[in-house]
Amino acid sequence: MATSNFHNENTDRIYVIDPQDEFEYESILENIKIDFKNADKAGKFEFIEDDEIHLDTELRSYPATSIGRVYKSFNFLGIEFEIQIVPLTRSGYYEAGNFDYEIKYILNNNETFSDIDGILYDLEHYSEDYDLNKGLIAIHEDNLKKRLEDLEKDLREKVENIFEDNSDQYKQIASFSNGETFYKKIS
């Protein structure tokens, strides 16, 4: 029985890193952190370095370590909305590793959601907790959803561009019932 070497949750391709030793791995991490910090300084998003963030998508066979937090927030209807991406390194099952990320949606610096629909559901069903009436939420729901989706897309693209600059990209081209998987290098 075989298994896939790489596990990715959110990226559209597999951003592979293949350090030959611990020093090379540390060098790769330092380079990507510098890229995230430079993007932060350029105003693309905010970045906080942190390698101890609890990861919801970590699997026993594919241990992962956070790199930090990339986030952007905005105020809408008097409520603070934040989209946070946690870039991470994930060990390959047999060899190498890959970059991936988790996405979190945060409402009023307090409640965390796994998707945009969770935020909208919470606003609609618990509107009194946010000092809003249901009619106001209904009027602005589509606009808020679009704004959240646009911000998420923008953050994903920026994070994946940094991954792209620091890795080789592969695509999974076949996976068989016994777990064997084939990958194709795309850049």
**Residues 171, 13: contact at Cβ < 8 Å?**
yes
In three-state secondary structure terms, 107 is strand
Is residue 3 one of the residues assigned to a domain? Answer: no
Check residue 13 and give its pLDDT. Answer: 95
Domain extent at residue 30: 14-185
Contact, 85 vs 101, CB < 8 A? yes
Asked, for residue 22, whether it belongs to a domain, the answer is yes
Phi, psi (deg, nearest 5) at residue 144: -65, -45
Residue 81 confidence (pLDDT): 95
**In-domain check, residue 73:** yes
Tokens of 185: 């290098």
Has residue 128 been placed in a domain? yes
What's the sign of the alpha-carbon dihedral 27, 29, 30, 34? positive
What is the phi/psi pair of residue 110, to 5°? -135, -65
Q: Is residue 163 part of a domain?
A: yes
Q: What are the pLDDT tens digits along the chain (187 aa)?
A: 567 889 899 998 999 999 999 999 999 999 999 999 999 999 999 999 998 888 887 888 889 999 999 999 999 988 899 999 999 999 999 999 999 999 999 998 888 899 999 999 988 887 777 788 888 888 989 999 999 999 999 999 999 999 999 999 999 999 998 888 999 999 7
Please, which residues have CB within 8 angstroms of residue 5's CB and are 6 or more apart in sequence? 92, 93, 94, 95, 96, 181, 183
Domain count, the chain: 1
Q: What pLDDT is stored for residue 155 in this prediction?
A: 96
In a domain, 5, yes or no: no
Q: Is residue 121 part of a domain?
A: yes
pTM: 0.89
Tokens of 56: 């919801």
Q: Cβ distance 185 to 168 under 8 Å?
A: yes
Tell whether 28 is covered by a domain. yes
